[in-house]
Structure 1
Amino acid sequence: MKHWAATEERGSYLGILIVLRAYKYGGHVLMRLVLAPVIFYFFLTGGNARRASLDYLRRLHNFSGDASPFASVPTWRDSLRHFWQFGLASLEKTDAWIGRIRKQHVQNCGNTHFRDLEQRPEGGVLIGSHLGNLEVARAIASSSYSKRMNVLVFTEHAQAFNRALRELNPNVTVDVIQVTNIDMGLAIMLRERVDQGEFVVIVGDRTSVTDPSQSVHHHFLGKPAQFAIGPWVLASILECPVYFLFCLRNSTGAGYDLHLDFVTAQLQLPRRSRQQHIDAILSQYIAKLETLCRHYPYQWFNFFDFWQQQETAATTEGSVGNAD
């Protein structure tokens, strides 16, 4: 089965630019009119993504039991709603970067505030996911606070979106570092930036683009799935505070819940017990993911078979490889 990075990106710079210009000149009403047929087309023609969506929704329902966010077993209608929420998330990214989402639209639900990070001399690592909308969180942070956010991305699609945003608004500041591999050179550069008080943002719910075998299996929603060890090894190398970061649209649809949680002052991974330490921190991360999935079920935006067993994986359940 394909690794997530081998799945063709369904979009292009030109397509993204057209949609963003429609937003600029027509606002939310025109944008939703443009989005509706596009999302419906992707839903009808994207068989793999559609099946992955329904698989996730049903896993969440079964795993949650009496606490399930669904009244009955999810159907294709729930999957279509899942696709539509993904389309709205793209609109929210644009809202965030051109300044239409402000601090007053965001409610802090974690144990830490961005202003707390602003007052501390050291930087840190913020580990997020494809649950919710990290773009909103990082845009709010960039527009309201002086601490620089260095965002690591692993797809050309993200770069195309940011390029289109700059054409829409040249004043947009996006500190994106596109990478294919977290090597020692990148780690040294990031260490320098963290030492200067900056932050590194990386997602923890995707396996390595270049070597998916560098992962660990951990139960998520009731079945083993692969999670990259790269973010955790990078955090240990940087020797700085680690936080979880999630930003999700609230139940009213009019604002966002920001879950920024301090995890540890320094993640240490001793060689002899590295597997146990990674498993411990990953358990915290996955527990947070599962809780938030129950509260925001349609905001999980991994449209591929997340529980697939990669053909190239050299790991067994609970094993840990080298850093990506």
Structure 2
Amino acid sequence: MARTQVTVAQMAARMTSPKASHWAKKQENGSYLAIWLLLRLYRFGGKYVILIVLAPVLGYFFLKDRSARTASMQFLQQVHSYKGTQSPFAQRPGYWRSYQHFWQFAMAALAKIDGWLGRIPVGSVSYEGSVSFDNIIQTGKGALIIGSHLGNQEVCRALVRSKYTVRINVLAHTQHTAAFNRILKESNSDVDLNLIEVTELTPTVSVMLSECIERGELVVIVGDRISAQAPERAVWADFLGKPAPFAIGPWVLGSVLQCPVYLMFCMRQKNGYKLIFTHFAEQLQLPRKERQQALQSTIQQYAQQLEQVACRYPLQWFNFYDFWHLPTPSQQKAQSTEGNAR
């Protein structure tokens, strides 16, 4: 299918939306006690007990969270429209597909617990892509791995940690999922090991990560969400036939670290997981004079690969917000004030 040409006019028209909100300001659904109870039921009651309990609970949040429901349907319908006759859906996705989307998100949360409890058999994991994780380790070099909120990055980290001794430093913004992450840590204290909470890539953070790379360690960051502090600092790339904003931070970091860059996806399948590792660049180059053009080209390549996997596993897309718009300046200011007040 031919890709659409993204023009400056299109980008400007889609730059902000009065309905869009920042992903980092979205509040966590459910209290610590409620999430703790559900996960306890799952851990000790088993799969079938949690399925019975989870269905009505999830139905409640599906009805309550209109913005997430709208974003879910927007994404699924965009996939269907973009893929045309090759759509993964037999018909235009509606409320039932959206509910299934919510369900997959809940299953991914439970899978994170399974991952850190060692319940995912190594034999249920298959591999795909231009390079394997073994290949990455065998080079002996430090590397930057760029993930996303497509699939289950946490399961991948748990699986890798159970098999390899290499240190993996994960850059994360977890303030909006504090209750769940607290419970995840209670299941295994290694959950937040080498987890670096960041809201902005400062020179200090870059120096620290450069030292990690020099020691042959891995650095993991997601590339599919705009900056928590400066969402307007984004590059627009074609994604599923529409311009979408992507953060520049991961790619600038890649050029600073001067190391190999890989893409990573961990996708759930019927009988296990598929780990997809792709060699993206031996070293990212962002020449000063052509910096914007280089960023545009690099991010478009990432968006294209993200798109390919998203179309194969649309129900494992866990960005439940308006992905194609930036929040308006007034919303950003209001959300920032709200965040500071908490």
Question: Is this a same-fold pair by TM over 0.5?
Answer: yes
Is the contact made by 1:98 and 1:172 (CA closer than 8 Å) also made in structure 2? no
Match of 1:268 among 285, 289, 301: 285
For 1:126, the equivalent position in structure 2 comes to 145
Match of 1:281 among 298, 308, 315: 298
| Whole-Å separation in 2 of the counterparts to 1:190 and 1:121 | 16
CA drift of 1:173 comes to 6.3
| Structure 2 unmatched runs, 5+ | 1-19, 331-342
CA drift of 1:116 comes to 1.3
| Whole-Å separation in 1 of the counterparts to 2:297 and 2:121 | 35
Match of 2:188 among 166, 169, 174: 169
**2:288 is aligned with what amino acid?**
R
Is 1:135 the counterpart of 2:154? The answer is yes
| Whole-Å separation in 1 of the counterparts to 2:191 and 2:230 | 33
| Whole-Å separation in 1 of the counterparts to 2:202 and 2:179 | 24
SS of residue in 2 equivalent to 1:272: coil
SS of residue in 1 equivalent to 2:46: helix
| Whole-Å separation in 1 of the counterparts to 2:177 and 2:163 | 23
* Match runs of 1:183-198 below 5 Å: 183-198=202-217
| Whole-Å separation in 2 of the counterparts to 1:17 and 1:191 | 37
- Over the aligned positions, Cα root-mean-square deviation in angstroms equals 1.7
| Whole-Å separation in 1 of the counterparts to 2:39 and 2:128 | 30
| Whole-Å separation in 1 of the counterparts to 2:190 and 2:296 | 42
Q: Deviations over 1:229-264 (max 9, x none)?
A: 0010011111111000001112xx211111101111
CA drift of 1:12 comes to 4.0
* Match runs of 1:31-50 below 5 Å: 31-50=50-69
Match of 2:238 among 201, 204, 219: 219
CA drift of 1:172 comes to 5.2
**2:271 is aligned with what amino acid?**
A
**1:113 is aligned with what amino acid?**
S
| Whole-Å separation in 1 of the counterparts to 2:31 and 2:293 | 41
CA drift of 1:159 comes to 4.8
* Match runs of 1:1-324 below 5 Å: 1-170=20-189, 174-250=193-269, 253-312=270-329
Is the contact made by 1:136 and 1:247 (CA closer than 8 Å) also made in structure 2? yes
For 1:321, the equivalent position in structure 2 comes to none
Alpha-carbon spacing, 1:8–1:163, altered in 2? closer, same or farther (3 Å): closer
| Structure 1 unmatched runs, 5+ | 314-324
Is the contact made by 1:61 and 1:70 (CA closer than 8 Å) also made in structure 2? yes
After superposing the two structures, state which structure 1 stretch, 15-24 or 274-283, moved more: 15-24
For 1:322, the equivalent position in structure 2 comes to none
Is the contact made by 1:219 and 1:225 (CA closer than 8 Å) also made in structure 2? yes
Residues paired across the two proteins, number:
311
| Whole-Å separation in 2 of the counterparts to 1:171 and 1:178 | 15
Q: Which has the higher contact order (CA 8 A, sep 6+)?
A: 2
